[in-house]
Amino acid sequence: MRQLIFRRKLAARKLEDLARTGQPAPALDNVRVETGEYPKYLAQAYKAEKMPKPRNIIGMAKDLPVPEMEKLMLTHIQVTDDALRQLAVERASRVRDRLVAMGKVETVRIFLVEPKTHPPERKEKLRDSRVDFRIR
């Protein structure tokens, strides 16, 4: 989730550049930051972040190498419970849509329930992050 938020921050910077040049603006998740332009948009996103940044002798934010900017930004990205809940809902919807598209399960037989806010009960040999299917 942190990586997704991080990529969106860089894509938002590129999107701003596209808008300034009058180019059509795709959806944020469709913006691709190419390898050659990555340092430019990373620096812009880093500069815009509201987080403690290393300072030089006169108190100005230091210019940092790409790996250090990435590390600092990723460290300070907060993933909220609401964001995780939204991710769970989106994933469940995609699974439901795929099952229906395959034509093997009728739409009226699939129910999505609100994701739980607490971690699932621990089960041996199963990850904590998972989907539980119940067939009735």
Question: Would you place residue 62 in the very low, low, confident or very high pLDDT band (cuts 50, 70, 90)?
Answer: confident
Strand partners, 55: 61
Question: Does residue 69 share a domain with residue 50?
Answer: yes
Q: What residue numbers bound the domain in which 118 lies?
A: 80-136
Question: Does residue 112 share a domain with residue 60?
Answer: no
Question: Does residue 85 share a domain with residue 40?
Answer: no
d(CA 99, CA 60): 55
Question: Does residue 60 share a domain with residue 97?
Answer: no
Question: Does residue 107 share a domain with residue 58?
Answer: no
Which one has a higher pLDDT value, 12 or 112?
12
Question: Does residue 66 share a domain with residue 15?
Answer: yes
Question: Does pTM surpass 0.75?
Answer: no
- The predicted-structure confidence for 81-102, as pLDDT tens digits, reads as follows 888 888 888 888 888 888 889 8
Whether 117 and 85 have beta carbons less than 8 Å apart is answered as yes
- Tally of structural domains, the chain: 2
CA dist 24 → 11, 19, 21, 108 (Å): 14, 7, 9, 40
